[in-house]
């Protein structure tokens, strides 16, 4: 019989009947009536073999005749008891006119499967010459049988033809068992004669009233064979279903369930789960009934209302009942709530949700790490302010890009550096909220892409200085900005491809970790993609440090090369130190500490870089010295042309004509000064009769004259020449020889 949806009222009324029988109310029941039926059917497919045997016996009696062979009825009834499920069998011959009993046989299976004939009690109502009592669950009169369906019988399954009808499960006071019967009416062979009736009783006391949620067990067609054991029936069902579904839904014990009572528990479905508990036989006693030996033995204890525990679901807890709520108590509380007697069902007998983020809990204790939002907001505000300030500085640089202090430092690379710094500041925005997949992707991109842009732009400028400074030939190496960009773009392209492949193939996600208090929070996952990129960045930093070391003695206008080297050293030290802090010193730091460490790393690396590279330049512009050349560099004979072509500080555009003219004038003045100096010295040395011009290069204080070829004269001239050269900054010693043979 296929299970059909039963009304809730019929299920509840049946549960009340079961409860009355199981709680010693049977004495009053058996005085007023000998049978107590339920209002819900059971799945009769499990007893398909018994039904087929009863149909076969009815067919034999219909063909042979029920009155002509009296011994046949007795043999058929006794033979039906050989079925493993059939507990009793009866065959009646009824008068077609008045429905009185003409003859009957009634065999039952006693204790230990011993066959004993049932005595015919008058109080049973089954007597010769009288109509059977209508209180029998297995019998109905001819007015409704076989053309009309009696309400005593359960509906037949659709698309199946049965010769008879199954009854609803009922309790027999005389046998103290739960039974279900299959009854078949045998029509008379002639107009006048006897009408036959066969009924078999099946003991269902071993079945259980399981009110918990469960999928109905589907009996296979092979269940019609009486020789097929239940475990083989289940195997055939498993073969027709997917392994995953069967493993999740079916249980070996579910074959014994009365499926009509599934999902009739009173647990709160949102916060509780029902767990069936087999009640002990000692707690279930039936009084006021005549029990046969071995009839109960704990089997009737499975027919009990509230035989379950209401356990809190995962994510819920109960301080009063940590082991769950008894199903009987839940049934009573639910009934009182329905009758408006109390609200214990909704207010007391319930499970409370765990604290946010707790998968399991035993109390209201928190499981998530606390986020100190005012502290995080303050750090975020500073970071966003720094990012906005970087963009403002970018606009300021673009506006004053023709100022000499910016122009000789390659404005295009300075602007690229500021863009990378702004991206690195935005990492604090990505790690600010509760992390998820989207924010983790943003974190990886802002951190690594910002570092690559900033560091590469600074390194390209330093690398140009290194190539120019270390050249040993007289020919100067000229690397303009376009050539450096051609080297920089492939590096950025490699980083873009790596991050894009990482995002698509192994998307970063937020994983749960625990802090020192075992409170959990989410952090972006780290895997071999992170480790590979970290190794590459370390090697990149090592190369940059080597380049900076090579140019440590290089001279440049506005001390540009040295400041960039300091910035690269700072980036390397800060990043390595922060990795050590995260991994070794604070591996179990909470989310706020990690956010603070990220803020410190950003400020020490990014803000310090901006201060070193752009601070002195902005200060000169604010002082009004942005268009003036570096006087210290000029003292070291470093001109603008030398800076542009030799030291590597190539501007965005080629120098203008005015600048070139100024530099040429400086060189011409130096050469003219040196020529005049050499001419005067040689004239004085070779013409001793000439008097020095007052205020000229040489002033002779002594009135005595010596021979022009004497050692004292040469020594005096050389000494005086050295003094004058020290004043002019061109300390080139002159070696003078007197021409031989001259007077």
pLDDT digit string, tens, across residues 327-361: 999 999 999 999 888 899 999 999 999 998 888 88
Question: Cα–Cα distances in Å, from 303 out to 17, 123, 173, 355?
Answer: 10, 28, 15, 39
Greatest mean pLDDT among 188-192, 232-236, 468-472: 188-192
pTM over 0.75, yes/no: no
The pLDDT tens digits of the residues spanning 263-310 come to 999 999 999 999 998 776 544 433 333 333 333 334 456 788 999 999
Does residue 538 contact residue 571 with C-beta atoms inside 8 Å?
no
- In angstroms, the CA 207 to CA 198 distance is 24
- In angstroms, the CA 712 to CA 203 distance is 146
- In angstroms, the CA 183 to CA 156 distance is 13
> Is residue 175 very low, low, confident or very high in pLDDT (cuts 50, 70, 90)?
confident
- In angstroms, the CA 277 to CA 494 distance is 64
The burial of 354, by beta-carbon neighbours within 10 Å (0-12 exposed, 13-18 middle, 19 or more buried), is given as buried
> Is residue 24 very low, low, confident or very high in pLDDT (cuts 50, 70, 90)?
low
In this model, does residue 478 exceed pLDDT 90?
no
- Residue 172 is predicted with a pLDDT of 87
- Residue 242 is predicted with a pLDDT of 39
Q: If you search the block for the tokens 């004058």, which residue do you land on?
A: 724
In this model, does residue 495 exceed pLDDT 90?
yes
| Range from 122-126, 520-524, 554-558 carrying the lowest mean pLDDT | 122-126
- Residue 469 is predicted with a pLDDT of 61
Beta-strand runs (E) in 204-269: none
Tokens linked to 404: 């000499």
Torsion from C-alpha of 171, 175, 179, 185, nearest 10 degrees = -110
The pLDDT tens digits of the residues spanning 52-81 come to 999 999 988 888 877 666 678 888 888 888
- In angstroms, the CA 674 to CA 671 distance is 5
In this model, does residue 655 exceed pLDDT 70?
no
| Range from 84-93, 146-155, 484-493, 667-676 carrying the lowest mean pLDDT | 146-155
3-class secondary-structure state, position 94: strand
- Residue 741 is predicted with a pLDDT of 36
Share of residues in the chain with pLDDT > 70 (%): 71
- Residue 438 is predicted with a pLDDT of 93
What length does the chain have?
Answer: 743
In this model, does residue 738 exceed pLDDT 50?
no
> Is residue 529 very low, low, confident or very high in pLDDT (cuts 50, 70, 90)?
very high
In this model, does residue 158 exceed pLDDT 80?
no
> Is residue 246 very low, low, confident or very high in pLDDT (cuts 50, 70, 90)?
very low
* pLDDT, average across residues 310-325: 91
DSSP state letter for 82: T
* pLDDT, average across residues 691-716: 46
- In angstroms, the CA 301 to CA 280 distance is 7
- Residue 557 is predicted with a pLDDT of 65
- In angstroms, the CA 307 to CA 326 distance is 8
The burial of 355, by beta-carbon neighbours within 10 Å (0-12 exposed, 13-18 middle, 19 or more buried), is given as middle
> Is residue 734 very low, low, confident or very high in pLDDT (cuts 50, 70, 90)?
very low
Instruction: Report the 10 Å Cβ neighbour count for 117.
Output: 13
* pLDDT, average across residues 9-30: 78
| Range from 218-227, 237-246, 478-487 carrying the lowest mean pLDDT | 237-246
């Amino acid at each position: 019989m296929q299970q059909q949806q039963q009304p809730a009222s019929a299920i509840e009324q049946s549960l009340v009947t079961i409860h009355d029988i199981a709680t010693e109310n049977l004495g009053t029941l058996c005085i007023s009536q000998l049978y107590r039926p339920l209002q819900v059917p059971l799945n009769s497919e499990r007893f398909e073999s018994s039904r087929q045997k009863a149909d076969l016996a009815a067919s034999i009696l219909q063909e042979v005749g029920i009155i002509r062979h009296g011994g046949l009825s007795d043999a058929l009834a006794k033979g039906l008891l050989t079925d493993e499920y059939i507990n009793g069998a009866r065959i009646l011959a009824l008068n077609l006119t008045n429905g009185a009993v003409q003859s009957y046989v009634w065999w039952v299976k006693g204790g230990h499967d011993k066959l004993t004939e049932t005595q015919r009690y008058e109080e049973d109502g089954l007597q010769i010459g009288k109509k059977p009592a209508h209180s029998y669950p297995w019998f109905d009169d001819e007015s409704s049988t076989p053309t009309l369906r009696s309400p005593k019988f359960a509906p037949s399954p659709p698309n199946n033809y049965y010769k008879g009808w199954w009854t609803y499960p009922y309790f027999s006071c005389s046998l103290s068992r739960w039974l279900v019967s299959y009854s078949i009416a045998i029509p008379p062979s002639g107009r006048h004669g006897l009408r036959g009736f066969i009924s078999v009783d099946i003991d269902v006391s071993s079945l259980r009233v399981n009110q918990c949620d469960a999928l109905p067990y589907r009996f296979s067609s092979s269940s019609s064979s009486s020789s097929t054991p239940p475990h083989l029936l289940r195997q055939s069902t498993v073969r027709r279903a997917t392994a995953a579904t069967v493993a999740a839904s079916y249980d070996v014990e579910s074959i014994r369930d009365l499926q009509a009572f599934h999902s009739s528990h009173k647990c709160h479905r949102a916060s509780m789960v029902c767990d069936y508990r087999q009640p002990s036989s000692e707690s279930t006693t039936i009084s006021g009934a005549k029990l046969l030996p071995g009839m109960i033995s704990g089997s009737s204890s499975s027919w009990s209302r509230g035989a379950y525990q209401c356990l809190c679901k995962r994510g819920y807890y109960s301080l009063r009942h940590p082991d769950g709520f008894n199903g009987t108590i839940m049934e009573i509380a639910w009934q009182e709530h329905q009758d408006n007697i109390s609200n214990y069902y909704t207010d007391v007998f319930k499970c409370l949700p765990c604290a946010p983020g707790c998968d399991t809990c035993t109390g209201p204790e928190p499981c998530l790490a606390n986020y100190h939002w005012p502290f995080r907001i303050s750090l975020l505000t500073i970071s966003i302010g720094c990012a906005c300030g970087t963009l403002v500085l970018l606009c300021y640089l673009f506006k004053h890009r023709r100022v000499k202090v910016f122009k000789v430092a390659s404005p295009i690379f300075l602007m690229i550096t500021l863009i990378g710094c702004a991206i690195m500041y935005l990492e604090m925005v990505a790690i600010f909220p509760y992390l998820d997949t989207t924010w983790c992707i943003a974190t990886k991109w802002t951190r690594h892409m910002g570092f690559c842009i900033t560091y590469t732009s600074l390194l390209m400028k330093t690398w140009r200085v290194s190539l120019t400074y270390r050249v040993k030939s007289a020919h100067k190496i000229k690397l303009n900005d376009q050539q450096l960009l051609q080297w920089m773009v492939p590096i950025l392209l490699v980083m873009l491809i790596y991050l894009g492949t990482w995002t698509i193939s192994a998307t970063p996600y937020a994983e749960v970790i625990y802090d020192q208090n075992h409170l959990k929070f989410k952090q972006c996952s780290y895997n071999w993609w992170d480790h590979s990129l970290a190794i590459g960045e370390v090697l990149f930093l090592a190369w940059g440090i080597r380049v900076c070391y090579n140019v440590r003695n290089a001279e440049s206008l506005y001390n540009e090369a040295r400041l960039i080297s300091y910035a690269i050293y700072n980036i390397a030290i800060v990043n390595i130190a922060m990795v050590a802090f995260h991994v070794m010193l604070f591996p179990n730091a909470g989310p706020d500490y990690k956010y603070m460490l990220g803020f410190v790393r950003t400020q020490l690396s990014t803000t310090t870089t901006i201060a070193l590279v752009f601070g002195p330049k902005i200060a000169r512009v604010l002082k009004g010295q942005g268009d003036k050349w570096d006087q210290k560099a000029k003292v070291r004979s470093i001109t603008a042309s030398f800076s542009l072509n030799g030291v590597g500080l190539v501007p965005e555009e080629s120098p203008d004509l005015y600048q070139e003219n100024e530099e040429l004038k400086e060189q011409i003045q130096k050469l003219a000064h040196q020529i005049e100096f050499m001419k005067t010295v040689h004239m004085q040395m070779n013409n001793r009769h000439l008097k020095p011009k007052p205020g000229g290069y040489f002033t002779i204080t002594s009135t005595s004259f010596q021979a022009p070829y004497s050692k004292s004269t040469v020594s005096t001239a050389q000494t005086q020449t050295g003094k004058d050269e020290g004043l002019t900054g061109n300390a080139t010693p002159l070696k003078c020889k007197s021409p031989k043979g001259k007077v």
